Amino acid sequence: MRVLIVGAGIAGLSLAHFLKERGISYDLIDQTPEWRTIGYNMLVWPNGIRLLPKTVQRNVTNKGARITGNLILAEDGSVIQRFSFSSLIKRHGSAYQVLRDDLHQALRRGIKVRLNTVVRTLQQAGIRVHVQFSDKKKKSYDFVVGADGVDSSVRSHVTKQKPRFSGITGWLFWYPKKTRPHEILTQWGSGCFFGLYPHCKGARSAAYLAFATKRHLRTSNAHFVRRFAGMGGMIPEIIRSLPKKVYHHDHQFVRLRSWHKGSVVLIGDAAHCMPPPMGMGASLAIEDAFVLASELKKGGHALDRFEQKRRPRVEQVQKEARFIERLLAWPRLLYPVRKFMLKHLYQYLFMHVVDTILSERP
């Protein structure tokens, strides 16, 4: 059996490891001409960590920041709620904030990737798929896996459906001062949100400013300086210390009627990109890769079984992530209700959903 993996992100690289472990041959391509330092830091939950090869696991736990709780602030910076992840940690192990680049580098070790390569044509012929690449090479595969992220090009071979803008846009950047090393801080304002995510040993944090908007925004940050102007707590200092280099991102989500067609299948963000509030995208991408590799090894209708197994779990997290994200856009009139929810219900909802996900083995 030979598998083509398109996209060497978290999903694609994880799949390469899991196929290798099972003795299944693969080719892995990525559009990038060379590896660059990518992204900021991200939360990885134990459901993702425990599936990774031991060397990658060690990298996450040695280099990452162990996350033990969440501090929730109101618009003026006052504390609404603070809760600990201790019960989750006791039952399932710790979640870590890791540098995306550290995780990616660790996953790349021992995996051959053909860079600067994309699929030009892809044609199902019987049970095989004929592929022509951008370097004019041609090859046939038993399966083609689209692990090419939210803007997947492989997706067009499975469905006409496209990603949708969720109504939230955000800016991510480094806040260079020492902060709480083990706690995620979130602050909820008027249609806007601030998050501070620790980096290893608390030397710096990734700061995230996001707000609700009706359209995609691809331009200036003057907008958000204005949107966050009235907020208290750390916000004035965060805005003052805004670096030149920020990463702008419109939240998107992908919900498809099917994740596979013929011998072509989608995994990770290509199949089910979700907004970031649960911090589960990467962990679910790793799970997808694990389940797909296991099903391919078993043979038969592997892609049907893969989708049947994965869909309910992924859609549950997607639903919760969308719910939390929408809280951000609630009208001011409903703020007392939102404050009540953040104080009394959010902790329960969040912990319950994460506990359910971590309790089930994919």
* Residues at the contact surface with ligand FAD, assessed by CB under 6 A: 6-12, 29-32, 42-44, 118, 147-149, 153, 172, 249, 268-270, 276, 279-283, 285
**Closer residue to ligand FAD (CB): 138 or 332:** 138
Least distance CB 76 / ligand FAD (angstroms): 25
Tell me the C-alpha distance between 29 and 201, whole Å.
Answer: 35
Least distance CB 153 / ligand FAD (angstroms): 4
Residues in CB range of 239: below 8 A, 6 or more apart: 225, 228
Tell me the C-alpha distance between 349 and 335, whole Å.
Answer: 18
Q: CA dist 325 to 13, 109, 212, 274, 311, Å?
A: 29, 35, 9, 10, 21
Tokens of 150: 């939210």
**Closer residue to ligand FAD (CB): 42 or 303:** 42
Which residue in 113, 128, 163, 136 sits closest to 5, CA to CA?
A: 113
Least distance CB 151 / ligand FAD (angstroms): 6
**Closer residue to ligand FAD (CB): 42 or 185:** 42
**Closer residue to ligand FAD (CB): 67 or 80:** 67
Helix (H) or strand (E) holding 261, with range, is: strand 260-261
**Closer residue to ligand FAD (CB): 148 or 320:** 148
Closest CB to ligand FAD: residue number: 9
Which residue in 214, 164, 210, 156 sits closest to 187, CA to CA?
A: 210
Least distance CB 87 / ligand FAD (angstroms): 21
Tokens of 175: 């806040």
Least distance CB 154 / ligand FAD (angstroms): 7
